[in-house]
Chains A and B, each alone.
Chain A
Amino acid sequence: MPEPSATPMNFAFAGPGPARANGRSVAVIGAGPSGLAAAGFLACLGYRVDVYDKLPKPGGLMVFGIPAERIPAGRIAQGVETLANHYGVSFHPCTKVCDRRQVDDTGDEFSTRCIDLDELVRGHDAVMLATGSWKPRRLNVPGEDLRGVYTGLAFLFPIRAAQYDRSRMSEINVAGKNVVVIGAGFSAIDVAHGALGQGAARVSMLYRRTRREAPCGSHEIELFEAAGGQWLELVTPVSILGEHGQVEGIECIQCHLGEPDEDGRRRAVPDSCAKMVLPADIVVGAIGETASPPFAERLGLESVRKNEIHWLQMTQMEGVFVAGDALSGPSKIGKAVYSGLRAAQSLSRWLTLKGINREFEYREEPPITREDLR
């Protein structure tokens, strides 16, 4: 429901409006929070911006991962429209930038066009890579490949994506089924609420630590319980059971809390003897994603992280910059936005100085710190 006072979403918030064209063009790969923030910043400065994304609509996980109850899709769409209509940003949906090597990520189903990175580099003055983190982490337990076992993204993605193209994507039917969700992050809680909302007979969340350590926080777990969900803590799956290739249950063992790990959270220590079997028709392992940037090696992303390239967020390929989850792994929207903005600023500075052959003067600008990416 739009309120009279609501200020429109504006990815090009850095300036008062479109600037005179500066004659330079930038390709942004990925239309998630990081890519859109970078595109907005560059558009403010008069760059001609092309945004490529593998999905049918811009917004990335803000639109296809996070449920509409949390982020209204209309607001993102309106921000994108402003970029397109007022700032002349060109959006190229359903286009994946490839390295001629097939990468199998969630959401690849929609890519109908493949563009080579070198082609983009040749066709633009600079490139911003903001492809995010789309590779689900695996549970690494036997039975993970049974029918009825999904990753968090594989579960959440079709709920939104099916609205765009039913022939390629359909929602996972959970009605009347017994759903077990593994994990306790925000995507786990979103999966659990999604399953409850779609009429699952029973939804259980399984976490190896307690609600005190849960990344989503105990408040979210209370809301889940209030909505009729079952919260099971101090249990970890050891194998997924099934017959004829179809999941039927999860074998779990009891854990207790041990010494704190690197994050300061107490780690879950399995008790070998106490096993139990939970019946399940659908199992969702929502234990997070990892970054899956294409050409990671060629771009030298590891060197970017270690600040070995003396230009903020530039990769080993001259003029190719990287931002957001693709650089620093899964994080929050705000971190991705900040990373995208800083990279765009760095990109613009580099192009400007290069234009007057002075780029070497500023090579030693203090690199982005851990604090900046955290």
Chain B
Amino acid sequence: MAPDETMTNVDETILFIDYSRCIGCESCESACRFIHGQARINMTRTVGGIMAPVYCRHCEAAACIKACPRGALQKGADGAVLLNPVLCAGCETKSCILACPFGGIFCTGLEDAVAKCDLCQRRRSVGMAPACVEMCPCGAMHLVTRREALALATPEYEAAHRKVMEHVRPVLAPLKRRDQE
């Protein structure tokens, strides 16, 4: 998440992963999968071999919410982007998955067609932290407000984050036209 100077809801809670301290051990994915059955944070491996979890950033102006034609994705009271599986049609276009710039919505291939992080709403309602945050052996994961996240975004984080995002959303050169070959 590139911290945006124009953001207004600085007190909304988000998940922040410092990729510069992440070793790609997969503990977050395992904890998530154990609690939720289907992991809502998933590992990726860049071409250069960096293992990192991709996850929902609970964007202020979330592209997935705009992309869903059935209103199955909505903002919760604390700013979390929540999926209402009852409204989700599991549409073939999976517009939410395509719309997310961070690869934070996952196709399950199961009855509930997509899975995404809800910041462990149920756990947090009884005073527990998200499972992934508690099981990260590196202390790379934080449940913080957008304001606090700004303070965590070190230059090392920025560099590591850029490497992962170049993989998740590669910037491709336009295809050559045939007459230019």
Give the interface of A toward B (CB within 8 A): 3-11, 13-14, 16, 33, 37, 62, 66, 70-72, 75-76, 214-220, 222, 332-335, 337-338, 341-342
Which residues of chain B come closer than 8 Å to A3, judged between CB atoms? 139, 142, 152
Report if A75-B135 is in contact (Cβ < 8 Å); known contacts: A14-B35, A219-B48, A338-B34: no
Complex formed: what's the CA distance from A5 to B46 in Å? 28
Interface Cβ pair total, 8 Å cutoff: 103
**Cβ-defined contact, A220 with B49, below 8 A:** yes
**Cβ-defined contact, A218 with B49, below 8 A:** yes
Question: CB-nearest residue of chain B relative to A214?
Answer: B49
Find residues 145-173 in chain B having any chain A CB closer than 8 Å to their own CB.
Answer: 148, 152, 163
**Cβ-defined contact, A335 with B30, below 8 A:** yes
Tell which of B34, B35, B138, B139 touches A342, judged by Cβ atoms closer than 8 Å: B34
Given contacts A13-B134, A214-B49, 5 further A-B contacts (CB under 8 A): A9-B136, A13-B129, A334-B25, A334-B27, A341-B30
**Cβ-defined contact, B152 with A5, below 8 A:** yes
* Pairs A-B, 5 closest by C-beta atoms: A217-B49, A334-B26, A219-B48, A338-B30, A333-B25
Q: What are some 14 contacts across the A-B interface (CB < 8 A)?
A: A5-B142, A5-B152, A7-B129, A9-B139, A10-B134, A11-B135, A13-B135, A14-B35, A70-B23, A71-B23, A219-B48, A334-B43, A337-B26, A337-B135
Which residues of chain B come closer than 8 Å to A333, judged between CB atoms? 25-27, 137
Tell which of A219, A334, A337 touches B50, judged by Cβ atoms closer than 8 Å: A219
Q: How far is the CB of A111 from chain B (nearest CB, A)?
A: 24
**Cβ-defined contact, B126 with A16, below 8 A:** yes
**Cβ-defined contact, A7 with B137, below 8 A:** no
Q: How far is the CB of A366 from chain B (nearest CB, A)?
A: 13
Which residues of chain A come closer than 8 Å to B47, judged between CB atoms? 218
